Structure 1
Amino acid sequence: MAKKVLVVEDNELNLKLFCDLLRAHGWVAEPVRDGREAVARALAEMPDLIVMDIQMPHVTGYELILAIKADERLRAIPIMAVTAYAGRDDEERIRGAGADAYVSKPISLARFMDAVHALA
């Protein structure tokens, strides 16, 4: 059975790119366009991995990481942050919140998939 990835991204082009890339590599990609829906969708889908943008309207990826890791039903799901924030302090803050991996934008397709494979 293919592994499932929840992709939380507000930018339609990035969402399509990530989902298409995952599907091309045999994964089941579940898109989430609004971060406010991410926790409920994670509970409904129970994915093997969550890939999320950090800079989103309404709720940040940083806040979502904290919410997911605070929920005992979800905390074991690995989270890969994908973000344009590329500073060392940003990576430390995001990892400190509970992200298991960090990939900066613009992404390298090979690096993105290497990170996915390493987590799930």
Structure 2
Amino acid sequence: MCDILVIEDNPVNMELTVDLLESYGYKVTPAEDGFIALDKVKEKKFNLILLDIQLPKMDGLEVLSRLKEDEATKDIPVIALTAHSMRGDDERFIAAGCIDYISKPIDIHSFKEKIRYHLETSN
């Protein structure tokens, strides 16, 4: 079974994302901010991380940077999950180390396919 870490501070978005992923058969661990997420990746190996870019305390790009600098977590694929939908954001997140970008609100049809695709190609 694939383990996915979801880093999202908005409770409604977290619930929707977790419910969708669990309905697809994935095991999901939630983290409400970057500090919690960085603790979780020390405790467990994840197959994929969905990372909200706008987080309290530590923004998503800082979380991503810390994940990529750590030998234990640098190879975990990370997908940016964000309401930022300005032109060029996807390229910026990819350049920072994300493998893909999912904009909110989530399109549930393409979401399932993107998750499946990235889990299959990264494992």
Fold-level similarity (TM above 0.5): yes
TM range (shorter): over 0.9
Gaps of 5+ in 1: none
Which residue in 1 is equivalent to 2:10? 11
Which residue in 1 is equivalent to 2:47? 48
CA contact 1:10–1:35 (8 Å) conserved in 2: no
The TM-score normalised by the length of structure 2 is 0.92
**Residue 88 of structure 1: CA displacement?**
2.6
Q: Distance in 1 between matches of 2:61 and 2:77?
A: 14
Runs of 4+ in 1 over 2 A off after TM superposition: none
Gaps of 5+ in 2: none
Which residue in 1 is equivalent to 2:25? 26
Q: 1:63 is aligned with what amino acid?
A: E
Q: 2:2 is aligned with what amino acid?
A: K
Aligned residues: 119
Q: How does 1:53-64 map to 2 (within 5 A)?
A: 53-64=52-63
Q: 1:103 is aligned with what amino acid?
A: I
Superposed CA deviations along residues 47-102 of structure 1, whole A, max 9, x for unmatched, are 10001110111111111111101111111110011111112322121111100110
Which residue in 2 is equivalent to 1:113? 112
**Residue 43 of structure 1: CA displacement?**
2.0
